């Protein structure tokens, strides 16, 4: 065994308790970078609370509030508007126009951004729908958006973004949907109320059965991108099962293109006309 590994095991055997709690409560898999982040958080929090690290890990593993504060610190929140452009183009040009046609009679669409981070993902969906339906539409659009990190949800609910967060956004969309003039040193820009009004944020844990038992109906599109990749095998299987249940018949699931192999379900098929990462629920027979 390399001495670095031996040293880590001898110094930090108590971290295992905390990793197990995070796996059970949030469905997270442990890996080297997660362990490194966890170590930094444990050292910092133990010092602030004047605990030794062993005691802190025991307390955090058994106290839901403290475990949540650890999860909040170590969860990776990387995101951006229109993160995988090919996927969003397919949503814009194929998936959403087809759903709009399908729902022309009831004029309702329900979408879910599961693991929405600071809001760029649900707001990208909102901008596409605003573009497709036009300003004066009478559609009922719901973009349900869930994350476990309160700080991320606070920024998301404000709909205010720094130039750095807008740098890859199409200038025409920036101009159309954000306040102010874009420049790298400009103050943060506010997203148009027309896009924000359809997006509802909820603080919840995707690995908690309670959330799935109380969903606001079935969804035409669920985007669960770059979330499954951080989960362990049991959590992935259960989450994919639950996502399938939450989709309307004929509805779509979108995961990161690198996560497509994690979605294994007999009643979810990957449409050949759409980019990698899309799955469609079979219609009810």
Ligand X SMILES: C[S@@+](CC[C@H](N)C(=O)[O-])C[C@H]1O[C@@H](n2cnc3c(N)ncnc32)[C@H](O)[C@@H]1O
Binding site for ligand X (CB under 6 A): 26-27, 75-79, 83, 115, 117, 121, 146-149, 152, 205-207, 225-227, 230
Q: What is the smallest separation between the CB atom of 119 and ligand X, expressed in angstroms?
A: 9
Nearer Cβ to ligand X (38/53): 38
Q: What is the smallest separation between the CB atom of 47 and ligand X, expressed in angstroms?
A: 24
Nearer Cβ to ligand X (118/189): 118
Nearer Cβ to ligand X (53/84): 84
Q: What is the smallest separation between the CB atom of 255 and ligand X, expressed in angstroms?
A: 9
Nearer Cβ to ligand X (40/49): 40
Q: What is the smallest separation between the CB atom of 84 and ligand X, expressed in angstroms?
A: 8
Radius of gyration, CA atoms only, the chain: 21
Nearer Cβ to ligand X (147/192): 147
Residues 206, 115 contacting (CB under 8 angstroms): yes
Going edge to edge, which strands form the sheet with 199-203?
Answer: 199-203, 140-147, 108-114, 219-223, 247-254, 278-281, 268-269
The phi and psi torsions of 152 (rounded to 5 degrees) equal -65, -40
Q: What is the smallest separation between the CB atom of 65 and ligand X, expressed in angstroms?
A: 16
Collect all residues with Cβ–Cβ distance below 8 Å to 43 and sequence separation of at least 6.
Answer: 53
Q: What is the smallest separation between the CB atom of 231 and ligand X, expressed in angstroms?
A: 7
Select from 211, 229, 208 the least CA-distant residue to 277.
229
Nearer Cβ to ligand X (53/147): 147
């Amino acid at each position: 065994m390399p001495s670095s590994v031996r040293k880590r095991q001898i110094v930090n055997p108590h971290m295992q308790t905390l990793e197990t709690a995070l796996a059970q409560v949030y469905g997270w898999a442990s890996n080297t970078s997660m362990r490194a982040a966890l170590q930094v958080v444990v050292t910092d929090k133990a010092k602030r609370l004047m605990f030794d690290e062993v005691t802190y890990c025991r307390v955090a593993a058994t106290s839901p509030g403290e475990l949540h504060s650890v999860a909040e610190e170590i969860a990776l929140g990387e995101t951006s508007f229109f993160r995988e452009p090919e996927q969003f183009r397919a949503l814009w040009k194929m998936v959403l126009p087809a759903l709009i046609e399908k729902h022309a009679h009831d004029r309702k669409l329900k979408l879910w951004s599961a693991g929405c981070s600071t809001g760029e993902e649900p707001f990208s969906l909102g901008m596409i729908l605003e573009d497709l339906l036009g300003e004066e539409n009478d559609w009922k659009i719901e973009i349900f958006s869930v994350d476990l990190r309160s700080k991320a949800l606070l920024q998301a609910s404000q709909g205010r973004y720094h130039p750095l967060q807008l740098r890859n956004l199409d200038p025409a969309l920036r101009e159309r949907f954000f306040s102010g003039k874009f420049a790298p040193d400009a103050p943060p820009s506010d997203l148009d109320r027309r896009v924000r009004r359809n997006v509802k944020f909820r603080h919840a844990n995707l690995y908690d059965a309670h959330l799935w038992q109380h969903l606001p109906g079935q969804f035409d599109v669920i985007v669960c991108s770059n979330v499954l990749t951080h989960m362990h095998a049991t959590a992935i299987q259960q989450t994919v099962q639950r996502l399938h249940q939450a989709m309307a018949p004929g509805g779509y699931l979108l995961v990161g293109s690198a996560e497509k192999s994690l979605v294994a379900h007999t009643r979810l098929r990957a449409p050949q006309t759409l980019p990698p990462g899309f799955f469609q629920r079979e219609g009810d027979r």
